[in-house]
């Protein structure tokens, strides 16, 4: 929730975005088209499809909180016919001028099928990215009633390219039998998405980007 000094009545809750919006967030649904990413061990579900479903729910939650969102993709296709084209186009969008944060949504997979739960990666050495990733993983573990987890340093295209703080969220493991099922459940996806949005907003409120 965004802090608001005056009482808000029910009828005011669905007013359009404040003009101008307080923040601009780049939201990336990982993979797409020819690049399906990981697949569910039991069901074969494509990571690219789940990423998009969750990312669209994150967009909804951010927009409801008055955040402007630019998505790298809103459909099933990749951003080009080759990996190189896709990365070039995704990279351009990740550099959208005026962005306050970049968030990339992915699903995880691991050989040990007992490993589960969300993870948040920041670009190693990026102090603001680390704060953003910490806020997101805190929000996710709280929403899912999990033990607190640290954000993880990494080196990924989607956290390396943006000039704004960036986080790659691995929502859960497609190799864990129960989590593979949950990650396809719309109510669970919404819980994840709303937690990601709350974490991003908590970071932005603390960072005070001056909008």
Q: Which residues bind Zn ion (CB under 5 A)?
A: 30, 37, 106
Whose Cβ is closer to Zn ion: residue 30's or residue 172's? 30
Whose Cβ is closer to Zn ion: residue 37's or residue 153's? 37
Strands 166-173 and 119-123: what pairing?
antiparallel
Cβ atoms of 106 and 157 closer than 8 Å: no
Whose Cβ is closer to Zn ion: residue 106's or residue 176's? 106
Whose Cβ is closer to Zn ion: residue 48's or residue 68's? 48
The least distance separating Zn ion from the CB of residue 106, rounded to whole angstroms, comes to 4
What is the C-alpha separation between 12 and 8, in angstroms, rounded? 6
Residue in 155, 200, 195 with CA at minimum distance from that of residue 172: 195
Residue 168, classed as helix, strand or coil, is strand
Alpha-carbon separation of residue 138 from 68, 154, 186, 200 (angstroms): 23, 18, 22, 11
Cβ atoms of 136 and 101 closer than 8 Å: no
Whose Cβ is closer to Zn ion: residue 20's or residue 75's? 75
- Burial string for 72-93 (b: 16+ CB within 10 Å, else e) reads bbeeeebbbeeeeebbeebbeb
The least distance separating Zn ion from the CB of residue 19, rounded to whole angstroms, comes to 35
The least distance separating Zn ion from the CB of residue 108, rounded to whole angstroms, comes to 8
Residue with smallest beta-carbon separation from Zn ion: 106
The least distance separating Zn ion from the CB of residue 66, rounded to whole angstroms, comes to 29
The least distance separating Zn ion from the CB of residue 18, rounded to whole angstroms, comes to 33
The least distance separating Zn ion from the CB of residue 198, rounded to whole angstroms, comes to 22
Whose Cβ is closer to Zn ion: residue 32's or residue 165's? 32
């Amino acid at each position: 929730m965004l802090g608001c000094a005056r009482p808000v009545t029910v009828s005011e809750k669905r007013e359009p975005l404040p003009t101008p919006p307080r923040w601009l967030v780049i939201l990336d649904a990982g993979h797409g088209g020819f690049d399906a990413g990981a697949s569910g061990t039991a069901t074969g579900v494509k990571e690219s499809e789940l990423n998009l479903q969750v990312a669209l729910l994150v967009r909804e939650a951010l927009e409801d909180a008055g955040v402007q969102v630019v998505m790298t993709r809103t459909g099933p296709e990749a951003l080009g016919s080759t990996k190189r084209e896709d990365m070039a186009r995704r990279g351009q969008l990740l550099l959208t001028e005026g962005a306050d944060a970049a968030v990339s949504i992915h699903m995880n997979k691991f050989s040990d099928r007992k490993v589960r739960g969300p993870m948040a990666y920041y670009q190693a050495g990026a102090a603001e990215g680390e704060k953003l990733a910490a806020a997101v993983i805190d929000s996710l573990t709280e929403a899912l009633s999990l033990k607190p987890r640290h954000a993880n340093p990494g080196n990924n295209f989607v956290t390396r390219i943006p000039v704004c703080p960036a986080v790659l969220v691995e929502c859960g493991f497609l190799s864990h039998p129960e989590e593979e099922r949950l990650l396809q459940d719309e109510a669970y996806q919404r819980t994840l998405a709303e937690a990601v949005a709350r974490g991003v907003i908590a970071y932005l409120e603390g960072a005070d980007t001056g909008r």
